Amino acid sequence: MHMSAKNDQKLKKWEFPKKSGIWIREFVYSQTFKGKKETYGAYQVIAPAKITGTTRKRKQCSNFMEAQKFASQLFTGYKKQGEEYFKATDEERKEFSIGVPKLREHGITLTEAIEFAIKRLRPKGGERTIAEIAQEMIESKRIRHERGDLRERSFRDFNHRASKFADAFSETPSYDLTVEDLKDWLIGMKVTPRTTQNYLSVVSEILKYSVQKKYIALSPVDELTDNDRKELCGSGLDEKEPKILSIEQTARLLAAAHEHSELGLLGAITIGVFCGVRVEELKRLEWSNVKDTESDPIITLSGTITKKRRIRHVDIPKNALKWLSLCTQRTGTIADNKHTNDYQKRFRKLIQLAGFGHTDEKGRWVSDWETNAMRHSFGSYHYALHGNPLETSRQLGHKASDQVLFDHYRALATKEQGEAFFSIVPPKSESKLVEFVG
């Protein structure tokens, strides 16, 4: 039986377990409480580095039984490590002898390397190829689309881009995809910076999902530097100035929409040009959303209509009210779109009638219409007229910033041109193409 250290005149020291190299020693310490000094006994376990696997370790225990238990646990763990070593094959020992010096050279422990590798090479979510993960995402989007939670165009676009990504890395395990693989693929497609950005957005969503499902530990997209992104998607500084309609072209487009009422596009063209509403929003917009008879005429765009479901109200300018007054059919949708290409076919016919194109050497008509010309025109002329970028951005439905306006929408226009643009009104007689509000 071992006496408390405070009752012994000579402190003792034991090796436990025997021949283990682990020692238990008695020691005493004092504490003063409310002016009274008390002396206490305790035990310290001292384990050498060969037992701990790192550095020499000490632990204080309040009694001898606790110290013995801790020492036993240390030695049992040490013996188990030795047993595991002798169970290793010659090839495993060879790998150990080659690998450990390399890790030591870089200040990495074997345990750190093992934990790092397991996390990445044996993901908790299970092993998946890039193609399998992309298909999971496509199916998830399909369910949302069928439930009415995701629009047809958004689903088709994601499906197309995700499928391209899946085809490119069909057999690649998700943990094997590197940032260099990703960059090489995006550059190899040889598409515009804007298209590259669209692909990168889809890939980023797929890989973020992979991290959340624990198929991978980190997304290669997160390793792209700012310079990588500029190389792939451009800086935005070298993009060409957006093309906008001239005053004459705008008048010509509206006049053609009015004259060819069978196309049913005058309302859509008026709202697209003078209110800046997106084409995809025009297809979903209904006449009930057009409040043009109120004291402050506006168009209400709910979340079911707008891009990214951001609701907004858009002002209707005075000249637009005059064009809208010519629309006799005021029920249902602003622009019928009975099937996928319905609106687009009628719009293509309209721009041909309005003279936005030419006939090539084979006698075929070729359009020179610029994508988003109506919306870009609105943004440019509205800012030129009012000089308020945040208000123009609000009308366009952008976030509370004018950066998108300046990067993608605003072409150079003068205030006089802005005044002329928002003064275009229907002709009072058939002999005139257009008139202007005074």
Q: Give which of 265, 281, 277 is closest to 342, Cα–Cα.
A: 265
The rounded percent of the chain whose pLDDT value lies above 70 is 83
Q: Mean pLDDT over residues 30-39, rounded?
A: 79
CA–CA separation, 13 vs 8, rounded Å?
Answer: 12
Structure tokens at 18: 């025997």
Structure tokens at 78: 């040490």
pLDDT, tens digit, for every residue of 371-412? 889 999 999 999 899 988 888 888 888 765 555 565 555 567
Q: Mean pLDDT over residues 124-131, rounded?
A: 80
Residue 90: how many CA atoms within 13 Å on its side-chain side? 0
Q: Is the pLDDT of residue 435 over 60?
A: no
Q: Which residue has the tokens 């025009």?
A: 282
CA–CA separation, 210 vs 159, rounded Å?
Answer: 17
Q: Report the range of poorest mean pLDDT among 149-153, 168-172, 386-390.
A: 149-153
- Please report, to the nearest 10 degrees, the dihedral formed by the alpha carbons of residues 298, 303, 309, 311 taken in order: 30
pLDDT, tens digit, for every residue of 78-106? 777 665 655 667 777 677 777 778 878 88
Between 252 and 119, name the one with better pLDDT: 252
Rounded to two decimals, the pTM is 0.53
Domain ranges for the chain, please list them.
5-87, 90-121, 130-233, 247-436
Cis peptide before 17 (omega within 30 of 0): yes
Angle (deg, nearest 10), helices 373-386 and 389-396 = 150
Between 326 and 29, name the one with better pLDDT: 326
Residue 222: how many CA atoms within 13 Å on its side-chain side? 10
pLDDT, tens digit, for every residue of 50-85? 777 667 888 889 888 999 998 888 888 777 766 565
- Please report, to the nearest 10 degrees, the dihedral formed by the alpha carbons of residues 430, 431, 437, 438 taken in order: -140
> Using a CB cutoff of 8 Å and minimum separation of 24, what contacts does 238-243 make?
239/193, 239/407, 239/408, 241/411, 241/412, 242/370, 242/372, 242/376, 242/380, 242/408, 242/409, 242/410, 242/411, 243/370, 243/373, 243/376, 243/411
For domain 130-233, which architecture applies?
Orthogonal Bundle (1.10)
Q: Give which of 198, 216, 195 is closest to 207, Cα–Cα.
A: 216
First-to-last C-alpha distance (Å) of the chain? 112
CATH pick for 247-436 out of 1.10.3470, 1.20.120, 3.90.79, 1.10.443: 1.10.443
Residue 124: how many CA atoms within 13 Å on its side-chain side? 9
